[in-house]
Amino acid sequence: MDRRERIAALIREELQGLPEETHDASLGMPLQVMPYGADEVIAALNCMLSTYVTMGAEVRRFEAAWAAYCGAEHAVMVNSGSSANLIALAALVAAGQLQPGDEVLVPAVAWSTSLFPIAQVGLVPVMVDVEPDTLCLDVAKAKAAMTPRTKAALLVHLMGQPGDVAGLEALGLTVVEDACAAPGAERGGRRVGRRG
């Protein structure tokens, strides 16, 4: 048994029985539920030992698997949802699809990381109310908020709830999806996050 195999065996012994993905509600609310186990710890350690902690074979495999899972042609791994929003919006500005000064509709229930990237690339965020049952951008309210300068919507799929991409596209808007809070969510048989 080589050194890495011995380390993997020690990790498996130490984390035996994990992941713990559920809990007994009668015991109260846990501070955390362990969503990873020995396999994930070993994979992370192997990445660290390879020195490819941000780019490399594991990231390329994940990007390909994630794109296939979402039904997209490509996927790009980034460090955060904020960076993902910034890259998507910057690409639309660089490609000329959006121009500085254009308005981007954004749900009133979201994060600062939904607003800041819009402003960072010179676009103007316009807050729009959300649907009470999904907490996602309300298409009727979006239509009412539109002006001649409104060109896009940043649709935040919130807390596992898919927003109405097709409804916003029907308004003639370029839709940027922020799906980091709803991986795997589907609407109309399609997984959210296919547009970045």
Instruction: Please indicate, yes or no, if residue 73 is contained in any of the structural domains.
Output: no
Instruction: Please indicate, yes or no, if residue 90 is contained in any of the structural domains.
Output: yes
- Over residues 65-78, the pLDDT tens digits come to 999 998 889 999 99
Token pair 């195999």: residue? 5
135 shares its domain with 187: yes
- Over residues 143-168, the pLDDT tens digits come to 999 999 999 999 999 988 999 999 99
101 shares its domain with 175: yes
105 shares its domain with 28: no
pTM above 0.95, yes or no: no
Domain with 34, as residue range(s), is 3-53
Tokens of residue 183, six digits = 């991986």
User: Which residue, 173, 178, 170, 172, is CA-closest to 196?
Assistant: 178
Instruction: Please indicate, yes or no, if residue 74 is contained in any of the structural domains.
Output: no
Which residues have a Cβ under 8 Å from the Cβ of 95 and sit 6 or more positions away?
Answer: none
46 shares its domain with 93: no
Q: How many CB atoms lie within 10 A of CB 25?
A: 8
44 shares its domain with 114: no
16 shares its domain with 100: no
112 shares its domain with 15: no
